[in-house]
């Protein structure tokens, strides 16, 4: 039976403009390229896929791009077949006609809910748990990405280069990808007060809106020795290259957060905000793991900077230490990336998990 699991259906509702679809697109590509799966990616907002995958046409209901069949997910959902494996990304809730078709299929498909990434310890005990449907002969399993072998691991393509020492350009390059709640004004003030020349790359959308709200005009802007430069939105592979090139990366959500860790450069993460402030608990759980091998002073700086960036507080007092020690942070991050790369990547773990479930 496991050898017959060729057809996979992956469902994605776009919530965080590029985080959800970024994860799902990377997963779909890797399933097709490295594992030979026939993947259909169902997306409710194709317009969010186009900037990270310019080969996609948001006007087409069905298309094939980079080995993946992309389908527009509409409210009037029609079932032609169900996959041998069905991935419900981030609890997006499958269409009811599709669930009914799954229940009528023999053998039953492997139904997996791909959860959001968290470093919280409880994810290890919940990874792989089964949830029988209350009225249909179906079982859904929960699959948790994570930072330990007891979880599903992280998305990482075969052959992805691990961090290596490199000569940093002058000026210092910084990428800024954030939500509009980030304290961008304090970052710009800190850059303006720093003597070392720098250039900060700002993509369109919420990052550029936050910058223009502070500075006005259309840019680029010169603040002391810092140049703030708008850039075009980059496809995923080009964005990955930018993260590897920059000395410091501000990232947000899940997809760019993971890619910043593979890049091995110093980064500052803005977690997706939640109304009940649960994101602060998730942030602290990650920092507990990430900062464990740092010396006390550096760990205090990193915790303070991440917390301030996620709370909308001024980062000016923390920025000088962060910049002064950024090469030391880069060495730590390279070691951190090598540690994470020692675990099975998420896509391989997902394929193995689906094949093992009976």
**Among all residues, which ones are annotated catalytic?**
20, 254
Please confirm whether the linkage preceding 220 is cis (ω < 30° from 0): yes
Alpha helices in the chain (DSSP H): 19-35, 96-103, 122-126, 184-193, 206-215, 236-245, 255-263, 278-290, 296-311, 319-324, 326-341, 346-356
319 φ/ψ angles, rounded to the nearest 5 degrees? -60, -45
How is residue 315 annotated by DSSP?
Answer: -
Strand partners, 198: 172, 226
| Residue 100 Cα to chain centre, angstroms | 31
The torsion angles phi and psi of 309, rounded to 5 degrees, stand at -60, -35
Cis peptide before 185 (omega within 30 of 0): no
Our measurement of the distance from residue 60's CA atom to the centroid of its chain's CA atoms, rounded to an integer in Å, reads 26
Neighbours of 55 (CB within 10 A): 12
Q: State the residue for tokens 């010396």.
A: 295
Interacting residues of 351 by C-beta distance below 8 A, sequence separation 6+: 31, 35, 37
Residue pair 295/329 in contact by the 8 Å Cβ criterion: no
Length of the chain as a residue count:
358
Using CA atoms, how far residue 194 sits from 21, 203, 216, in Å, is: 36, 22, 21
- What whole-number distance in Å separates Cα of residue 187 and Cα of residue 310? 13
Q: Residue 177 in contact with residue 209, Cβ under 8 Å?
A: no
3-state secondary structure of 50: coil
**Cα–Cα distance, 271 to 283 (Å, whole number):** 7
């Amino acid at each position: 039976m496991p050898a017959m699991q060729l057809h996979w259906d992956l469902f994605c509702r776009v919530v965080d403009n590029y985080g959800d679809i970024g994860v799902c697109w990377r997963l779909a590509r890797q399933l097709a390229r490295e594992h030979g799966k026939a993947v259909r990616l169902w997306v409710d907002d194709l317009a969010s896929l186009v900037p990270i995958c310019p080969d996609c046409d948001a006007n087409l209901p069905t298309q094939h791009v980079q080995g993946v069949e992309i389908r527009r997910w509409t409210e009037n959902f029609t079932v032609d077949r169900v996959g041998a494996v069905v991935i419900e990304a981030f609890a997006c809730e499958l269409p009811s006609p599709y669930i009914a078709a799954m229940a009528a299929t023999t053998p039953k498909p492997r139904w997996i809910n791909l959860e959001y990434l968290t470093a919280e310890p409880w994810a290890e005990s919940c990874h792989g748990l089964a949830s029988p449907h209350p009225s249909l002969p179906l079982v859904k399993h929960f699959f948790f990405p994570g930072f330990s072998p007891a979880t599903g691991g992280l998305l990482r393509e075969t052959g992805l280069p691990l961090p290596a020492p490199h000569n940093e350009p002058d000026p210092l390059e910084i990428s800024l990808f954030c939500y509009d709640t980030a304290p961008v004004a304090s970052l710009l003030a800190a850059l303006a007060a720093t003597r070392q020349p720098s250039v900060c790359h700002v993509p369109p959308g919420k990052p550029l809106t936050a910058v223009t709200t502070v500075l006005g005009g259309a840019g680029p802007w010169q603040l002391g020795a810092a140049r703030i430069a708008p850039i075009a939105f980059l496809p995923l592979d080009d964005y990955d290259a930018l993260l590897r090139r920059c000395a410091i990366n501000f990232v947000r959500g899940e997809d760019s957060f993971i890619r910043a860790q593979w890049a091995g450069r110093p980064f500052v993460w803005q977690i997706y905000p939640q109304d009940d402030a649960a994101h602060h608990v998730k942030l602290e759980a990650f920092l507990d793991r990430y900062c464990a091998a740092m010396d006390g002073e550096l760990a205090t700086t990193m915790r303070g900077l991440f917390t301030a960036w996620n709370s909308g507080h001024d980062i000016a007092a923390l920025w000088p230490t962060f910049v002064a020690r950024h090469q030391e942070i880069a060495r730590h991050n390279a070691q951190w990336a090598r540690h994470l790369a020692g675990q099975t990547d998420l896509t391989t773990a997902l394929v193995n998990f689906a094949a093992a479930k009976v």
